[in-house]
Amino acid sequence: MSLAETIRAKLAATAHLPALTTGIEPAAAPVSAAVLIAITDRPEPGLILTRRNEALRRHPGQVAFAGGRADPGDSGPEDTALREACEEIAMPRSLVEIVGRDSVFHTPTGFAIVPVIGIVPPDLPLSPREFEVADIFEVPLAHVLDTANHVRKSAEFNGLRREYFEIPWEGTHRIWGVTAAMIVNLSRRLA
């Protein structure tokens, strides 16, 4: 069975699982967005992540999936995720095999983000759109899905104590917040 078939089957078998909640009430008029959870098709699959440019107004320097807000011309979350990944990291749309979606995540900043899961060939010549992306890196999928690496933390945000997950990687990349929550939720689906 191929990696795409395996993940598609696991997603189907776990569709009944409730999503982890972020503790965030959906905004009255949430901004639709989507991210591409790009999994590399290699013997030891990886997960492609980005580090956002420090000069950005929103979430500077944070580790994130390629993705962003929906444009009026997008046909749905898959189209948004593929368009954004192409714009941000030069991910060729034609090389992404979409295998499913995960639950919508609501953010404190009013976004409703759909994680779109896709399988991509290994070692693609990706390049960051420097205005948005400072770095592109790949983390072993086994590392980020391992619950031993899912650290629960808390912090104050807008006067409220919020809990979140953090997944350390090589001491240089801090995967946390909504990105880590999406990974933790995915780990439950792919276990």
**What proportion of the chain, given as a percentage, has pLDDT over 90?**
62
AA letter at 47? L
At 146, the pLDDT band (50, 70, 90 cuts) reads very high
CB 100 within 8 A of CB 171: no
Mean pLDDT for the stretch of residues 168-186: 88
Q: What is the pLDDT of residue 109?
A: 80
**What proportion of the chain, given as a percentage, has pLDDT over 70?**
92
Tens digits of residue pLDDT in 40-98: 999 999 999 998 776 657 665 588 899 999 999 999 999 999 999 999 999 999 999 99
Tokens of 50: 């980005």
C-alpha to C-alpha distance for 155 and 114, rounded to whole angstroms? 24
Which domains are seen in the chain, by residue range? 3-190 (3.90.79.10)
Q: Give the pairing of strands 111-120 and 31-40.
A: parallel
AA letter at 102? D
Q: Which runs of E-coded beta strand occur in the chain?
A: 31-40, 46-52, 63-64, 66-69, 97-101, 105-106, 111-120, 133-140, 151-157, 160-169, 173-176
Q: Give the pairing of strands 63-64 and 46-52.
A: antiparallel
